[in-house]
Amino acid sequence: MKILMLVNWKIEYCKEKPVDKQPPDYKVEGKDYWFYRYFKNKPEVDVIDIRSFPWLENFERNKLHFYIWQAIRAIPKLNQYDLIVSHGMPSAIVICLWRRFFKTKAKHVVFDIGSFASASESGFSLKLMQFASKSLDGLIHHMSTQKLYYEKFFPWIVDKSQFIRFGADFDFFGNERKINPVGRPYIACAGKSKCDWDTVVKAYKESKIDLDLHLIGGKEEQFENISGVVQIPYLPINNFIEQIQGAEFCVLPLEPVPFSFGQMRLLQQMALRKCVIVSDAPSVQDYVEEGITARVYKAHHPEELEKIMQWAVEKEREKEDIANKAFDFVKNECNEEIMASNIECFNMKLLYK
């Protein structure tokens, strides 16, 4: 089987495995890419990322919200493959439109991370996605409730879609590592977009607990003069792991948007054997069990978050029990190998039904 994968981020094309990147972010020449290394029937996988010209990259990312140059590179090759896999509609939309008018040998599957156009319910974006999606042969989603959106606005895709839980790279994150000593004890809160730091900071200020709060990965400046709050810019993956490992516990304040995101951050922290306090965002409800594998608070409710943070400080044994069960959950139920097995089954049914 030959697969062409279109990813909506930049990867490093290299001859040897880099030490500072996780598998989605690099492609080693002649080696299996990302989760495909777990497939029983090894496919030949080529990967095209979103790199183009700097001015075009900025325009595509910030204005168009989809990638034209990536599609231009892919379209001449479509008949060389059995399957085209787009990770996200930004990397799929142009291919979908092309296939509405021109037949291709390859079938087309999309990992629908953003519920097409951020779960739009009206307007041009919805109509464009409805038109384009009719060329899709298959769809994988990582949030079960997305099916309700498809039933309402994309009924033709329901029978072609399958919910498959995202899986963390347990081989990478689950390995025991030496923990370097830290200064003051701290809470880790890692995020970027759609991360409700206001609620976290309000809860932290009210709690008056004797821990620092590390805000990792953002560019906000309004918290820089708040006692105990330490703002840390984006970190390479190995430094990120050190930050999470050194924390007393983690907070993941995801915004409750109706599409899939945040599972990778959640599962990575669980695999690092941390108790995670996470908001009740729809995107993580398939991945946590309150009081068993995580603590869950109502999004935008600092009072509830503050009480759970106090609990995490006071109930050391219970916190560690949740961290251990979270670790076991990723190891046994929600890892990359299991995800890959489900994806391979989906692909085989699609190609050989």
Question: pTM of the entire structure?
Answer: 0.94
**3-state SS string over the chain?**
CEEEEEECCCCEEECCCCCCCCHHHEEECCCCCHHHHHCCCCCEEEEECCCCCHHHHHHHHHHHCCCHHHHHHHHHHHHHCCEEEEECHHHCHHHHHHHHHCCCCCEEEEECCCHHHHCCCCHHHHHHHHHHHCCCCEEEECCCCHHHHHHHHCHHHHHHEEECCCCECHHHHCCCCCCCCCCCCEEEEECECEECHHHHHHHHHHHCCCCEEEEECCCCCCCCCCCCEEEECCCCHHHHHHHHHHCCCEEECECCCCCCCCHHHHHHHHHCCCCEEEECCHHHCCCCCECCCEEEECCCCHHHHHHHHHHHHHCHHHHHHHHHHHHHHHHHCCEHHHHHHHHHHHHHHHHHC
pLDDT, tens digit, 9 for 90 and up, residues 273-284: 999 999 999 999
Among 252, 199, 254, 207, smallest CA distance to 227 is for 207
Helix axes 93-101 and 123-133, enclosed angle (nearest 10): 50
The alpha carbon torsion through 294, 298, 304, 310 (nearest 10 deg) reads 20
Domains of the chain: 2-166+335-352 (3.40.50), 170-332 (3.40.50.2000)
- Cβ(297)–Cβ(304) under 8 Å? yes
- Cβ(254)–Cβ(261) under 8 Å? yes
Instruction: Extract the tokens encoding 71.
Output: 């599609």
Between CA 136 and CA 200 the distance in angstroms is 40
Neighbours of 79 (CB within 10 A): 11
pLDDT, tens digit, 9 for 90 and up, residues 185-206: 999 999 877 899 999 999 999 9
Mind listing the pLDDT tens digit of every residue in the chain (353 residues)? 999 999 999 999 999 999 889 999 999 999 999 999 999 999 999 999 999 999 999 999 889 999 999 999 999 999 999 999 999 999 999 999 999 999 999 999 999 999 999 999 999 999 999 999 999 999 999 999 999 999 999 999 999 999 999 999 998 898 777 676 667 899 999 987 789 999 999 999 999 899 999 999 876 667 878 899 999 988 889 899 999 999 999 999 999 999 999 999 999 999 999 999 999 999 999 999 999 999 999 999 999 999 999 999 999 999 999 999 999 999 999 999 999 999 999 999 999 87
pLDDT, tens digit, 9 for 90 and up, residues 132-147: 999 999 999 999 999 9
Helix axes 316-332 and 263-271, enclosed angle (nearest 10): 110
> Nearest 5 degrees, angle CA 75-CA 76-CA 82?
75
